[in-house]
Chain A
Amino acid sequence: MVRLQEEVRRLEAETLALLAKTDTLDGIRDLKVKVLGKKGTLTALLRQMGSLPPQERPLMGQIVNEARNKLEQAWNERERLLEERILQERLEGERVDVTLPGFRFPEGHLHPLSQIIEEIEDIFLGMGFEIAEGPEIETDYYNFEALNLPKEHPARDMQDSFYISEEILLRSQTSPVQIRTMERQHPRLPVKIIAPGKVYRKDDDATHSPMFHQVEGLFVDRGIRMSDLKGVLLNFSRQMFGADREIRLRPSFFPFTEPSAEVDVSCMLCGGAGCRVCKGTGWLEILGSGMVHPKVLAMGGYDPREVTGFAFGMGAERVAMLKYGIEDMRLMFDNDLRFLRQF
């Protein structure tokens, strides 16, 4: 019995030493089978118990079981340790440089004018305006005459237009859409539209382009006042240029409005204190406007004694230049990708 006992002790010590040296999961599994398996060395020792006198057997059984438990525990410990180590190694091996750039989805860019026009549209849609359209190539009638600009009217000199024939030209303003919309909608009220689109004039320098974009506005109904014009444009200016903007109206002249007003917005760069952009005045001219001239209402089919209306027109390029700080209008039609990809 003493010999058997010593053998168990020796086996236990040997196995523990071996286990500590084994550092693969397969290795320790093999070792487990070799010692604790059905044909394992410890199991074999247990079988030899039969040769002991019966009174020694329980003690011996206890010794072997203790060894077995101890080994199993050590084995479990070792397995856990190895698994942990393997996981650590894997994590270490899978480390990436998180500062490298991620997958590149190509991004496109809306033209700044599209963005501005969409923004203007959304603001006026929010105020219940609809979007109207009209042809870019227009008749003299819609572009001028119906807008209270008869032939030989000196105000025609305000704009130099591109002509296709004596009676057909590239529209020099979006205002013809006023007449077309009133004609189409008559006699329904209100007429409440904005009309964005391309217009053409014979100018070409840093602040003028032979083609540019205007957004026209028209609101005709019973009892429309000039103060309503100011209210709508103030709302627009604040949404477009910032909640703390103010606007002011200044007398002006357009053949198709009476009274007419130039609209200035307080400078968004200096807040009205005066800077280079607003030339020290604190104000920036953004659009022309006024009460629709009675002759224009009549041309559109409405009775100027029953309805009044206001109209306005702004240059989308001008708005974009102010909003994005673009100094030369020609950049917008030059289409250099380095410029466009900023937007």
Chain B
Amino acid sequence: MKVSLEWLRELVEVRQDAADLADTLTNGGIEVGSVDDLNAGLAQVVIGVIQQLDRHPNSEKLWLCLVNTGEKSFSVVTGAGNLRKGDKVPLALPGAELPNGVSIQASKLRGVLSEGMLCSAEELLLETTVGAKRSAGGILILAPEAPVGEKLAAYLGLDHHVLDLELYPNRPDCLAMVNVAREVSSLTGEKTHLPKWADTTQLPRLPFSEDIRVVIDEPDLCRRYAGLLVDDVKIAPSPDWMRRRLSAAGVRPINNIVDITNYVMLELGQPLHAFDWETIEGAVHVRRAQAGEKLVTLDKAERSLDPDMLLIADDRKALGLAGVMGGLESEVTAKTRKILVESAHFAPVSIRRTGRRLGLRSEAANRFEKGVNPYGCLAALGRVSELLVRLGAGQPLALVDEVGRLPGPRQVIFTARRTAEVLGFAVSERDLRLVLDRLGFPFKLEGDEFRVEIPSYRMDLEIEEDIIEEAARLLGYGRISATQPRGGQTEGRRTEQQEFRRRLRHVLVGAGMDEVTTYSFVRAEADAAWGSAEDAVALLNPLREEQGVMRTSLIPGLLEVANRNVSRHNLDVSVFEIGNVYLADQPDRPLRRLPRESLRVAGLAAGKSKRHWLTSPYVHDFFYLKGIVEKMARELRLSFVFRPARDEPLLHPGRSADIYLGETKVGVLGEIHPAVAKEWAPERGVVFELEVDPLFRQAGMRLKARSVPRYPGVQRDLAVVVPREVPAVKVRERILELGGELLQEAEIFDVYTGQPIPEDHRSLAFSLHYLSPERTLTDEEVNALNVRIIEGIQQDFDAEWRKE
């Protein structure tokens, strides 16, 4: 809502300037988004007096004036011929940016320097009534007493500040100037001077017409339909003051009739519409549109209607979309002589639906959607008839008023005690009387109960808490001090599951990975490739196609991150994300219940580690990322089993593994299949993705400490040569088995292929650690065990002992 301060001052005493008033309103809960100064263009325009007036030496059409502004005289060239010596005129100084957009510079005109410009009323966008009669068609000539040197805007008392209110949905009343004035009065304590037509009980002194019949077919959608019949309509432009106020409010002036309806809407908040009476055949109906019915609206578009839309119609045809936009056929034109001004109350639901479906926005629809005072219809017509007469735009003849179901009066009861309890500061009955008086709400005090009559324009106030907020607002939120909640201490801690997730994040960061956050919605095809198409949940209204479905895998998002970084030459990538995937978990579309949200952790690595003079860089390959997954397992006390992946067509068949916790598959790890990798920037990339919650359920959160062994252990290295296809993990498992309980650990420290190992074999070197909790082991014992292991492995895997 754009509020012209000049207009507002007519309705309420305003002692503050625009910026201070904006602060008062904002701090009172009516947020002012911006303050525009429409006078900015007049900032460099001062009043000067013509000291000398001569013909331009080089032109017969131009004049050369010497203009004095008190301190200084300026030599100015002008083309206007309406000036006399001694005239007081507006002088735009160099640097001025005039309201009509012209910028003024000192420049030579026909060889003579002009140090500014004398302005006409039009150039300053002023009303033609401001200056002397001689102003017409030339420079604006001001009254003889105009003070030389003063700014023109200050002299004319122009206050063209406009406050743009960003209203919350609970305050549609402030879409009316009179209610903004009431709000200002409540917040500042200044008096309103609302004229009588602001009073909703004020009826226009006109007879009720007997020959207009209004039929409300939909009393739930139209609570009231009032009309004013006007004869002797004389279409003309409306006066400057009205045009100026409309423009300031962002409404384009059209002609006196349309302007009056818009003006009253802005003033009182009641949307109005004028129909050309001659085009109405029979009764006025408020009905639903028929399927397939057509209407050409004022914007000349043909609209296809449906029964969800409410129409104003006559006996034969649609006249307009109720509360949204009129029809072209019944539009007021230059030829119109008789009109019906509609002042009705339509239910927000129907207006919103109609507006949505047709993609139509209008000031009227905006007000109806948010809520219009159902008791304001007749008062608005009273104001319209007054303006019609004042402007000589037409002769009000009669009224019609069909009343449907109007809401009853509202009373809210509240107490000072409860107010103080909720707000947390002392509130007296005197405070509350002051608040209610400022609001102008009638009330009675019975015992400690205030019984407040809520005026019909304050549709947001229904319960005690609403009035408590009014009290807080008017007394000032500044009175609320900071207190500590009473009551006992509570223990705040993360649940074990929350703590687990937090640790997971930190473990991965500790391993050198960077955390990323990607959108939960992704391109459908990418998600289908990596996730599960049948579980995908699609958005009905995505912002863009590439954000069409909720992800069922985190990998596409990570691939996109890698792609973007590599294209920006961030080639070495090691990133992870912890976030939900969204699985429909049901065959029905549309969904019958909420999808399942499952937390995942996924990582992607490509490129290599940073170069460093001490070490050679390691490649971000399969074993790098596996190392990270293993580190994660160690730190979270999990034991993963890696098995060659099955059924992962997007991963390299020889470099991918399924990750198991016990017998449950919880994730996958692998290099991206070269055929897939072609589509994106990093040449080779490795990914993993794991379900988080199974890890949490399995994680050994409770630590049981063991004491330090009392006897020294024995370390032996052992290399075995086995066929290549034998998985290392099998060899290790067998070694541990053969070593018995004295063999504590067997770790692979070297893998070797090449001479002299046979081509289809490889050498695996293990570091074995023997330990007994009861005694110091002898060499003989350990040697015997080593022999047993070697023989066992040879037998099982056709392995040879690699002798050093």
> If A136-B597, A231-B483 touch, does A103 touch B565 (CB 8 Å cutoff)?
no
CB-CB contacts of B642-682 with A at 8 A, as 1s and 0s? 00000000000000000000000000000000000000000
Looking at the complex, which one of B422, B469, B508 makes contact with A251 (CB distance below 8 Å)? B469
CB neighbors of B among A90-135 (8 A): 100-101, 103-111, 113-114, 118, 121, 124-131, 135
CB neighbors of A among B509-543 (8 A): 509-521, 537-543
> If A210-B519, A225-B424, A334-B564 touch, does A108 touch B542 (CB 8 Å cutoff)?
no
Q: Which chain A residue shows the least CB distance to B485? A: A228
> If A137-B595, A164-B537 touch, does A154 touch B493 (CB 8 Å cutoff)?
no
A161, B575: Cα distance in complex, Å = 30
> If A114-B505, A335-B575 touch, does A210 touch B484 (CB 8 Å cutoff)?
no
CB-CB contacts of B574-587 with A at 8 A, as 1s and 0s? 11000110100000
Are A251 and B28 closer than 8 Å at their CB atoms? yes
> If A111-B516, A157-B169, A252-B168 touch, does A223 touch B481 (CB 8 Å cutoff)?
no
Looking at the complex, which one of A138, A202, A222, A247 makes contact with B543 (CB distance below 8 Å)? A202
Are B481 and A164 closer than 8 Å at their CB atoms? no
Looking at the complex, which one of B480, B490, B509, B514 makes contact with A128 (CB distance below 8 Å)? B490
Is B27 an interface residue when CB atoms closer than 8 A count as contact?
A: yes
Is B199 an interface residue when CB atoms closer than 8 A count as contact?
A: no
Is A1 an interface residue when CB atoms closer than 8 A count as contact?
A: no
Neighbouring A residues of B489 by C-beta, 8 Å: 128
Looking at the complex, which one of A138, A198, A252 makes contact with B594 (CB distance below 8 Å)? A138
Is B756 an interface residue when CB atoms closer than 8 A count as contact?
A: no
A244, B485: Cα distance in complex, Å = 22
Are B29 and A250 closer than 8 Å at their CB atoms? yes
CB neighbors of A among B431-471 (8 A): 463, 465-466, 468-469
The minimal Cβ–Cβ distance linking A185 to chain B, given in whole angstroms, is 12
Are A190 and B487 closer than 8 Å at their CB atoms? yes
> If A104-B612, A131-B495, A190-B487 touch, does A202 touch B423 (CB 8 Å cutoff)?
no
Is B733 an interface residue when CB atoms closer than 8 A count as contact?
A: no
Are B515 and A109 closer than 8 Å at their CB atoms? yes
A105, B509: Cα distance in complex, Å = 12
The minimal Cβ–Cβ distance linking A226 to chain B, given in whole angstroms, is 5
A111, B519: Cα distance in complex, Å = 14
> If A127-B492, A154-B370, A225-B424 touch, does A258 touch B469 (CB 8 Å cutoff)?
yes
Q: Which chain B residue shows the least CB distance to A108? A: B509
Q: Which chain B residue shows the least CB distance to A106? A: B512
Are B466 and A202 closer than 8 Å at their CB atoms? no
Is A266 an interface residue when CB atoms closer than 8 A count as contact?
A: no
Is A318 an interface residue when CB atoms closer than 8 A count as contact?
A: no
A250, B31: Cα distance in complex, Å = 10
> If A101-B612, A103-B615, A211-B520 touch, does A108 touch B511 (CB 8 Å cutoff)?
yes
Looking at the complex, which one of A130, A204, A224 makes contact with B485 (CB distance below 8 Å)? A224
A335, B508: Cα distance in complex, Å = 17
Neighbouring B residues of A252 by C-beta, 8 Å: 29, 31, 168
Neighbouring A residues of B172 by C-beta, 8 Å: 154
> If A152-B352, A154-B369, A157-B169 touch, does A230 touch B29 (CB 8 Å cutoff)?
no
The minimal Cβ–Cβ distance linking B405 to chain A, given in whole angstroms, is 17
Interface centre among B29, B485, B520, B539 (most CB of A within 10 A): B485
Are A226 and B424 closer than 8 Å at their CB atoms? yes
The minimal Cβ–Cβ distance linking B113 to chain A, given in whole angstroms, is 40
Q: Which chain B residue shows the least CB distance to A338? A: B570
> If A227-B483, A253-B169 touch, does A137 touch B469 (CB 8 Å cutoff)?
no
Are B514 and A294 closer than 8 Å at their CB atoms? no
> If A136-B582, A250-B26 touch, does A230 touch B482 (CB 8 Å cutoff)?
yes
Is B188 an interface residue when CB atoms closer than 8 A count as contact?
A: no
Is A75 an interface residue when CB atoms closer than 8 A count as contact?
A: no
Q: Which chain A residue shows the least CB distance to B464? A: A294
Are B542 and A251 closer than 8 Å at their CB atoms? no
A224, B614: Cα distance in complex, Å = 62
The minimal Cβ–Cβ distance linking A342 to chain B, given in whole angstroms, is 11
Are A226 and B170 closer than 8 Å at their CB atoms? no
Neighbouring A residues of B564 by C-beta, 8 Å: 334-336
The minimal Cβ–Cβ distance linking B699 to chain A, given in whole angstroms, is 19
Neighbouring A residues of B466 by C-beta, 8 Å: 258
Is B312 an interface residue when CB atoms closer than 8 A count as contact?
A: no
Is A163 an interface residue when CB atoms closer than 8 A count as contact?
A: yes
> If A158-B169, A333-B517 touch, does A249 touch B610 (CB 8 Å cutoff)?
no
> If A136-B597, A333-B517, A333-B518 touch, does A110 touch B509 (CB 8 Å cutoff)?
yes
Are B609 and A335 closer than 8 Å at their CB atoms? no
Is A214 an interface residue when CB atoms closer than 8 A count as contact?
A: no
Neighbouring B residues of A335 by C-beta, 8 Å: 516-518, 561, 564-565, 575
The minimal Cβ–Cβ distance linking B513 to chain A, given in whole angstroms, is 4
Are A227 and B515 closer than 8 Å at their CB atoms? no
Q: Which chain B residue shows the least CB distance to A123? A: B492
Q: Which chain B residue shows the least CB distance to A193? A: B492
Are B517 and A259 closer than 8 Å at their CB atoms? no
> If A109-B514, A154-B172, A227-B425 touch, does A221 touch B485 (CB 8 Å cutoff)?
yes
Is A63 an interface residue when CB atoms closer than 8 A count as contact?
A: no
A156, B473: Cα distance in complex, Å = 24
Is A16 an interface residue when CB atoms closer than 8 A count as contact?
A: no
Is A248 an interface residue when CB atoms closer than 8 A count as contact?
A: yes
Is A162 an interface residue when CB atoms closer than 8 A count as contact?
A: yes
A17, B494: Cα distance in complex, Å = 82
Neighbouring B residues of A341 by C-beta, 8 Å: 514
Are A226 and B492 closer than 8 Å at their CB atoms? no
Are A232 and B539 closer than 8 Å at their CB atoms? no
Neighbouring A residues of B349 by C-beta, 8 Å: 152
Neighbouring A residues of B425 by C-beta, 8 Å: 227
Are A106 and B484 closer than 8 Å at their CB atoms? no
Is B754 an interface residue when CB atoms closer than 8 A count as contact?
A: no
Is B573 an interface residue when CB atoms closer than 8 A count as contact?
A: yes
Are A227 and B480 closer than 8 Å at their CB atoms? yes
Interface centre among A128, A250, A308, A335 (most CB of B within 10 A): A335
Are B492 and A124 closer than 8 Å at their CB atoms? yes
Q: Which chain A residue shows the least CB distance to B550? A: A137
Are B472 and A154 closer than 8 Å at their CB atoms? no
Neighbouring A residues of B573 by C-beta, 8 Å: 337
Neighbouring A residues of B597 by C-beta, 8 Å: 135-137
Is A302 an interface residue when CB atoms closer than 8 A count as contact?
A: no
Is B394 an interface residue when CB atoms closer than 8 A count as contact?
A: no
A165, B542: Cα distance in complex, Å = 12
A170, B595: Cα distance in complex, Å = 11
CB-CB contacts of A51-67 with B at 8 A, as 1s and 0s? 00000000000000000
Neighbouring A residues of B486 by C-beta, 8 Å: 223, 228
Are A294 and B463 closer than 8 Å at their CB atoms? yes
Q: Which chain A residue shows the least CB distance to B352? A: A152
A152, B574: Cα distance in complex, Å = 47
Is B775 an interface residue when CB atoms closer than 8 A count as contact?
A: no
> If A164-B539, A165-B540, A251-B28 touch, does A198 touch B520 (CB 8 Å cutoff)?
yes
Is B227 an interface residue when CB atoms closer than 8 A count as contact?
A: no
The minimal Cβ–Cβ distance linking B429 to chain A, given in whole angstroms, is 19
Are B582 and A192 closer than 8 Å at their CB atoms? no
Apart from A192-B490, A250-B26, list 7 A-B contacts with CB within 8 A. Answer: A105-B512, A128-B491, A158-B169, A225-B483, A255-B170, A335-B518, A336-B564
| CB-CB nearest 6 A-B residue pairs | A227-B424, A251-B29, A106-B512, A225-B424, A259-B469, A253-B168
What are 17 sample pairs from A and B whose C-beta atoms fall under 8 A apart?
A103-B612, A105-B512, A106-B511, A107-B509, A108-B511, A125-B493, A130-B492, A137-B595, A168-B590, A198-B580, A225-B422, A227-B425, A228-B483, A251-B27, A251-B29, A253-B170, A334-B564
Contact surface of B with A, Cβ cutoff 8 Å: 26-29, 31, 168-172, 348-349, 352, 369-371, 421-425, 463, 465-466, 468-469, 472-473, 477-478, 480-487, 489-495, 498, 502, 505-506, 508-521, 537-543, 547, 550, 561, 564-565, 568, 570, 573-575, 579-580, 582, 590-591, 594-595, 597, 609-610, 612-615
